[in-house]
Structure 1
Amino acid sequence: MASQPHDLWVQLPPHKLRSLARAWLDEDSPGPDAAAVAVGPAPRRAQLLCKSGGVLAGAPFVDAIFGECGCRVSWRLREGALLPPGRTLVAEAEGPGAALLLAERAALNCLGRCSGVATAARRAVSLARAAGWAGTVAGTRKTTPGFRLAEKYALAVGGADPHRYDLGGLLMIKDNHLAAAGAPPGAGGGGGAGAARVLAPPGGGVVGAGLAQRGFWRRLAVECGSLGAALGAAGAGADIVLLDNFSPEELREVAAEVKVKFPGVTVEASGGVTLETLPHILGPHVDVVSMGCLTHAAPALDFSMAVLPPE
């Protein structure tokens, strides 16, 4: 396989790639395929083609899918390559004819989904850099069930930060954590005094409980819906203050005040950010913008497979 940008593919555990490939193949073909009899086991070659512009991503997963079927893929373009509009040859696969057709749909679905996410990530990062912002564009856990590893990988291919991989990847206290801990309604997003009583360490507090679980590698993030909550969380010791669902104007004001009083705190902005609204929320006091739309709303690129005539 062609070298990957920054060798991202090396980070993917081979056993996990095989496991995912088997699961996707089992979903598409859990039993006998009578049409395979018409094709047989004779060796064949096929072209993998992209019919829309974007960023190519998903090669390690496609390799694993075809590999499980006893086929081999030769890539014509590198992972992360820009795909022009129109018909583009990205790879060739070879193996038993019936096996190529067995792998076809799972491989194309994976290529289309990964490339769509990588394309959205590349666009978001390009918008941020064009605006002169040097912070981090990140994804979220809003991924397709059973497809998280592929989508997180695709975010990285597109130049975005994948963000935490799973629930335990970051010690994050969100509004529902506050509610489940018995906080009064609106405590996380309410005024300074109410937020401080819930968040601050005197007597423990929700952030205090979080701090007790923080380790040498695990940072504490707190979702905040108001200036009071943000200052309360930062003052209580949070490493990351997540400003959620603020208007662009409010976001810039709150981020600036948090940074003035707590310059070492990481300020993350999130909540309904799209490619259209992204340039409006960037600012010198925002360190990270996390965007669920990079995965849950990214349109898949259009790929197809063409089996070549016998030589």
Structure 2
Amino acid sequence: MSAAPPLTPLEHGSLAHLLPPSWKSSVTAWLAEDTPSFDYGGFVVGEHVRTATLWGKSAGVLAGVPFFDEVLAQTGCTVEWHTTEGQAVAGGGSKTKMATVTGPVRGILLGERVALNILARCSGVASRTRAVVGALRQAGYAGRVAGTRKTTPGFRLVEKYGMLVGGADAHRMDLSSMIMLKDNHVWSRGSIADAVAAAKSVGGFSLKVEVEVQSEAEADEAIGAGADVVMLDNFTGEGVRVAARSIRERWAGKKQFLLEVSGGLTAENVEGYVCNDIDIVSTSYIHQGVPHVDFSLKINV
């Protein structure tokens, strides 16, 4: 019997509690980029208090609420949500009332575009993530689905947050989070065993070592050297099933390790990789080139 799928991050509590102390300074920088000098439109509308409605206009999953709130907070506004993060936006030609923003009209319009851009992108990542995770669960996969480090420079925190809202594992956040030895590392060092030994000499007990491999022989070398995670890279779906079963049988009772598969996965082919001898399916498909979820913010008249 397959193990039960892991609980999604949202099932454990508010993801806003994950955010580091520095995240609000990113919001400040995004606002500074959008208004580097005079706010001419703000001069036109002035400071009187108004309300505006956030409308969801296309189907998707709402994600990025803390970032939206902080943008508007920094422009002197408050946000009252009428739905919760992770909930579906209806779409289908209808508009969904998502939130009410209250504050100086200049502040509402000052933060409008930055807040909407973040929400649209983060919700797009969450939407595709949930779709891919759902397809894999329906096909019987019980392991973890993870994103990759192929994120937008300066916007990684938001994209990784969207993956979590969508129900995926964020994988490593950066080069310091886990030691991943890819083909270039191995080629530069000379061998997998040598590369793993060097990594463990500096990573200590607290950092896992993952090795990208192209064959069962390379997987055996990595496991024998003490790799914690072995990534089967660019295998076919059938190749994954054969290799994973063979590796598990060969190392049963000898070494503890995780098996990951990655490379070229999409919504169209991901079910072909379903194999519960694999612990992790990782893909950049859930966060690269995703359609945005459409939102608008309209002043109430």
Partner of residue 153 from structure 1, selected from 151, 158, 161:
161
Cα distance in 1 for partners of 2:192, 2:158 equals 36
Cα distance in 1 for partners of 2:175, 2:236 equals 27
Cα distance in 2 for partners of 1:49, 1:303 equals 6
Is 1:106 equivalent to 2:153 in the alignment?
A: no
Cα distance in 1 for partners of 2:205, 2:192 equals 22
Give the corresponding residue for 2:208. Answer: 219
Partner of residue 266 from structure 1, selected from 250, 258, 267:
258
Give the corresponding residue for 1:233. Answer: 222
Partner of residue 7 from structure 1, selected from 14, 17, 28:
14
Cα distance in 2 for partners of 1:242, 1:132 equals 21
The offset of 1:145, in angstroms, is 1.3
Give the corresponding residue for 1:279. Answer: 271
Give the corresponding residue for 1:165. Answer: 173
Give the corresponding residue for 1:291. Answer: 283
Checking the alignment, whether the CA contact within 8 Å between 1:17 and 1:60 is kept in structure 2 is no
- Give 2:33's aligned amino acid: E
Cα distance in 1 for partners of 2:275, 2:161 equals 27
Partner of residue 67 from structure 1, selected from 41, 65, 73:
73
Give the corresponding residue for 1:302. Answer: 294
- Give 1:281's aligned amino acid: Y
- Give 1:199's aligned amino acid: I
Partner of residue 121 from structure 1, selected from 125, 129, 134:
129
- How far does the alpha carbon of each residue in 1:260-309 deviate from its partner, in whole angstroms, 9 at most, with x for none? 12242200000111111111001021110011111112211111110112
Cα distance in 1 for partners of 2:228, 2:295 equals 42
Partner of residue 92 from structure 1, selected from 91, 100, 111:
100
1:105 aligned counterpart, secondary structure? helix
Give the corresponding residue for 2:25. Answer: 19
Give the corresponding residue for 1:187. Answer: none
The offset of 1:213, in angstroms, is 2.5
Checking the alignment, whether the CA contact within 8 Å between 2:140 and 2:274 is kept in structure 1 is no
- Give 1:27's aligned amino acid: E
- Give 1:131's aligned amino acid: A
- How far does the alpha carbon of each residue in 1:28-73 deviate from its partner, in whole angstroms, 9 at most, with x for none? 1111021222100111111111111111000000111001111111
- Give 1:176's aligned amino acid: N
Checking the alignment, whether the CA contact within 8 Å between 1:42 and 1:96 is kept in structure 2 is yes
- Give 2:238's aligned amino acid: E
Give the corresponding residue for 1:55. Answer: 61
Checking the alignment, whether the CA contact within 8 Å between 1:49 and 1:90 is kept in structure 2 is yes
Q: Structure 2 length normalisation: TM-score?
A: 0.92
Cα distance in 2 for partners of 1:308, 1:69 equals 18
Cα distance in 1 for partners of 2:188, 2:114 equals 40
Cα distance in 2 for partners of 1:94, 1:220 equals 49
2:259 aligned counterpart, secondary structure? strand
- Give 1:302's aligned amino acid: D
- Give 1:44's aligned amino acid: R
Cα distance in 2 for partners of 1:179, 1:46 equals 57
- How far does the alpha carbon of each residue in 1:167-206 deviate from its partner, in whole angstroms, 9 at most, with x for none? 111111001112332x3xxxxxxxxxxxxxx123xxxx11
Cα distance in 1 for partners of 2:24, 2:221 equals 46
1:166 aligned counterpart, secondary structure? coil
Cα distance in 1 for partners of 2:56, 2:24 equals 24
Alignment RMSD: 1.3
Cα distance in 2 for partners of 1:88, 1:130 equals 28
- Give 1:50's aligned amino acid: G
**Percent identical:** 43
The number of residues matched between the two structures is: 286
1:110 aligned counterpart, secondary structure? helix
Cα distance in 2 for partners of 1:35, 1:9 equals 32
Cα distance in 2 for partners of 1:155, 1:46 equals 28
The offset of 1:163, in angstroms, is 0.7
- Give 1:84's aligned amino acid: A
Give the corresponding residue for 1:186. Answer: none
Alignment of 1:30-41 (within 5 A): 30-41=36-47
Cα distance in 2 for partners of 1:145, 1:58 equals 17
Cα distance in 2 for partners of 1:179, 1:65 equals 45
Cα distance in 1 for partners of 2:184, 2:14 equals 38
